[in-house]
Amino acid sequence: QKEVEQNSGPLSVPEGAIASLNCTYSDRVSQSFFWYRQYSGKSPELIMSIYSNGDKEDGRFTAQLNKASQYVSLLIRDSQPSDSATYLCAPSSGNTPLVFGKGTRLSVIA
């Protein structure tokens, strides 16, 4: 059984701070990693993908991957109240269904 673990939160950060979201996964053959954002009552939307070890930056978002430790993280710099949402981690291993974590709820306090 493939497992994806995320801290459910809520993670509360003040506006302008860095939010750090973490994810560990059990499937060692995972090759692609995705972060989805889900606002309350809405469907998940992709915000970041990462495929190799190291950091990948996109605007205020940075994804970090360490395959040896089976760990992927998402950093949100200069957090805004509009970033308040649930963030889902999803590793992928080939042409199989993504396995989603249960998500971390982020609350950015103005």
Partner 1 sequence: DVKVTQSSRYLVKRTGEKVFLECVQDMDHENMFWYRQDPGLGLRLIYFSYDVKMKEKGDIPEGYSVSREKKERFSLILESASTNQTSMYLCATQSSENIQYFGAGTRLSVL
- CA 73 to CA 50: how far, in whole Å? 10
The nearest distance, CB 64 to partner 1, in angstroms, is: 19
For 83, the 3-state DSSP assignment is: helix
Buried b (16+ CB within 10 A) or exposed e, 8-35: eeebebeeeeebebbbbbebeebeebbb
Q: Does 49 bind partner 1 (CB under 8 A)?
A: yes
Peptide bond preceding 91: is omega within 30 degrees of 0, i.e. cis? no
Binding-residue pattern over the window 1 to 20 for partner 1, x denoting contact by CB under 8 A:
-------x------------
Instruction: Compare residues 35 and 64 and give the one whose CB is closer to partner 1.
Output: 35
Residue among 21, 23, 25, 34 that touches partner 1 (CB under 8 A): 34
**Interface positions with partner 1 (CB under 8 A):** 8, 32, 34, 42-46, 49, 88, 90, 92, 94-95, 97-98, 100-103
